[in-house]
Amino acid sequence: MPKIRQNPEVFTQMLVTMNFALAKPAQVIIAGSMDDNETRNMLKKIRSISISGSIPGMTIFVVSSDADRTRLKKYLSFVESIKQIDNKATAYVCKDYKCSKPVTNPDMLLNLLKK
């Protein structure tokens, strides 16, 4: 306990680290352009569920081109199948090596993230 009193900022970082370690890892992949309002609205919706704008254990990728897809394919083999639906920004939420059905609505994305 004395070390915490001497360095309280370390205790805060320890809590952040513990939160990250206990979080269930998830990946959100959005197929869409960063210049597109739909893509930006999805990103805003993700950030809305966290005070800090990030969610422990969550990694967010935006795939806006074939070049992005090729780069990410090295790490996420399934990224080849990530496509837009009806030319709309499309989000996929992946947990435990399974991806949800794609959604094009930010509120539906939010519902998936809260599960």
Residues 6+ apart with CB under 8 A from 89: 30, 31, 32, 33, 36, 38, 39, 41, 42, 104
pTM recorded for the entire structure: 0.77
Residue 8 pLDDT > 90, yes or no? no
Whole-number pLDDT of residue 1: 56
Q: Where in the sequence is the domain holding 55, given as residue range(s)? A: 23-114
Q: Is residue 7 part of a domain?
A: no
- Mean of pLDDT values over 46-55: 71
Residue 17 pLDDT > 80, yes or no? no
What's at 45, amino acid-wise?
K
- 52 pLDDT band, cuts 50/70/90, is low
Whole-number pLDDT of residue 7: 77
Alpha-carbon gap, residue 32 to 40, rounded angstroms: 9
Q: Is residue 92 part of a domain?
A: yes
Whole-number pLDDT of residue 79: 87
Q: Is residue 107 part of a domain?
A: yes
